Structure 1
Amino acid sequence: MSIHDKTSLQLPKENLEAKDFLPLLGTDHVELYVGNAKQAAHYYMAAWGFQPLAYAGLETGLKDRVSYVVQQDKIRLVLTSPLKSGGEINKHIDAHGDGVKAIALWVDDATISYDETVSRGAESYFAPKTLKDAEGEVVLSGIHTYGETVHVFVERRNYNGVFMPGYRAWQPLYRPEDVGLKYIDHMVGNVGWNEMDKWCQFYAKVMGFAQLVSFDDKDISTEYTALMSKVMSNGNGRIKFPINEPADGKKKSQIEEYIEFYNGAGVQHMALATDNIIETVTALRNRGVEFLTVPVSYYEDVLDRVGEIDEDLAPLKELGILIDRDDEGYLLQIFTKPILDRPTMFIEIIQRKGAKSFGKGNFKALFEAIEREQASRGTL
Structure 2
Amino acid sequence: MATTDKSSLKLTKENLEAEDFLPLLGTDFVELYVGNAKQAAYYYMAAWGFQPLAYAGLETGLKDRVSYVLQQDKIRLVLTSPLKSGGDINRHIDAHGDGVKVIALWVDDARESYVETMKRGAESYFEPRAKRDADGEVVLSGIHTYGETVHVFVERKNYKGAFMPGYRPWKPFYKPTDVGLKYIDHMVGNVGWNEMNKWCQFYAKVMGFAQLVSFDDKDISTEYTALMSKVMSNGNGRIKFPINEPADGRKKSQIEEYIEFYNGAGVQHMALATDNIIETVTSLKNRGVEFLTVPSSYYEDVLDRVGTIDEDLAPLSELGILIDRDDEGYLLQIFTKPILDRPTMFIEIIQRKGAKSFGKGNFKALFEAIEREQESRGTL
Match of 2:159, SS?
coil
Matches within 5 A, 1:125-164: 125-164=125-164
Contact 1:22–1:113, Cα closer than 8 Å, also in 2: yes
1:41-88 Cα offsets, whole Å, 9 max, x none, are 000000000000000000000000000000000000000000000000
2:280 corresponds to: 280
Shift of 1:13: 1.5
1:230 corresponds to: 230
Which letter maps to 1:58?
L
1:251 corresponds to: 251
Q: C-alpha separation between the residues in 2 aligned to 1:77 and 1:299?
A: 34
Q: C-alpha separation between the residues in 2 aligned to 1:40 and 1:5?
A: 33
Q: Does 1:179 align with 2:175?
A: no
Contact 1:190–1:266, Cα closer than 8 Å, also in 2: yes
Shift of 1:9: 3.0
Contact 2:137–2:158, Cα closer than 8 Å, also in 1: yes
Which letter maps to 2:126?
F
Match of 1:284, SS?
helix
Q: C-alpha separation between the residues in 1 aligned to 2:276 and 2:332?
A: 10
Q: C-alpha separation between the residues in 1 aligned to 2:238 and 2:231?
A: 13
Shift of 1:39: 0.3
Contact 2:34–2:99, Cα closer than 8 Å, also in 1: yes
Contact 1:217–1:226, Cα closer than 8 Å, also in 2: yes
Which letter maps to 2:272?
L
Q: C-alpha separation between the residues in 2 aligned to 1:349 and 1:10?
A: 27
1:267-308 Cα offsets, whole Å, 9 max, x none, are 000000000000000000000000000000000000000000
Q: C-alpha separation between the residues in 2 aligned to 1:107 and 1:210?
A: 18
Q: C-alpha separation between the residues in 2 aligned to 1:174 and 1:67?
A: 18
Structure 1 stretches of 4+ moved >6 Å: none
Contact 1:13–1:237, Cα closer than 8 Å, also in 2: yes
Q: Does 1:170 align with 2:170?
A: yes
Q: Does 1:268 align with 2:279?
A: no
Match of 2:142, SS?
strand
- 1:279 to 1:3, Cα distance in 2 relative to 1, 3 A: farther
- 1:303 to 1:4, Cα distance in 2 relative to 1, 3 A: same
Which letter maps to 2:109?
D
Q: Does 1:311 align with 2:314?
A: no
Q: C-alpha separation between the residues in 1 aligned to 2:327 and 2:121?
A: 37
Contact 2:138–2:154, Cα closer than 8 Å, also in 1: yes
- 1:104 to 1:250, Cα distance in 2 relative to 1, 3 A: same
Contact 2:3–2:160, Cα closer than 8 Å, also in 1: no
Contact 2:33–2:93, Cα closer than 8 Å, also in 1: yes
2:89 corresponds to: 89
Q: C-alpha separation between the residues in 1 aligned to 2:320 and 2:183?
A: 22
1:371 corresponds to: 371
Contact 2:192–2:246, Cα closer than 8 Å, also in 1: yes
Matches within 5 A, 1:32-51: 32-51=32-51
Which letter maps to 2:289?
V
1:175-201 Cα offsets, whole Å, 9 max, x none, are 000000000000000000000000000
Shift of 1:7: 4.5
TM-score, length of structure 2 as denominator length: 0.99
Of all paired residues, the percent bearing the same amino acid is 89
Shift of 1:20: 1.4
Match of 1:288, SS?
coil
Which letter maps to 1:244?
N
2:26 corresponds to: 26
Shift of 1:4: 3.6
Contact 2:2–2:163, Cα closer than 8 Å, also in 1: no
- 1:214 to 1:63, Cα distance in 2 relative to 1, 3 A: same
2:203 corresponds to: 203
Matches within 5 A, 1:61-76: 61-76=61-76
1:195-217 Cα offsets, whole Å, 9 max, x none, are 00000000000000000000000
TM-score, length of structure 1 as denominator length: 0.99
Q: Which consecutive unaligned segments of at least 5 residues does structure 1 have? A: none
1:360 corresponds to: 360
2:16 corresponds to: 16
- 1:3 to 1:323, Cα distance in 2 relative to 1, 3 A: farther
Q: C-alpha separation between the residues in 1 aligned to 2:272 and 2:243?
A: 17
Contact 2:271–2:349, Cα closer than 8 Å, also in 1: yes
Q: C-alpha separation between the residues in 2 aligned to 1:47 and 1:8?
A: 30
- 1:5 to 1:371, Cα distance in 2 relative to 1, 3 A: farther
2:297 corresponds to: 297
Q: C-alpha separation between the residues in 1 aligned to 2:322 and 2:3?
A: 28
1:310-339 Cα offsets, whole Å, 9 max, x none, are 000000000000000000000000000000
Which letter maps to 1:277?
I
Contact 2:36–2:81, Cα closer than 8 Å, also in 1: yes
Contact 1:3–1:73, Cα closer than 8 Å, also in 2: no
Shift of 1:112: 0.4
Which letter maps to 1:125?
Y
Match of 1:157, SS?
strand
Q: C-alpha separation between the residues in 2 aligned to 1:202 and 1:102?
A: 17
Q: Does 1:343 align with 2:329?
A: no
Contact 2:2–2:162, Cα closer than 8 Å, also in 1: no
Q: C-alpha separation between the residues in 2 aligned to 1:63 and 1:268?
A: 30
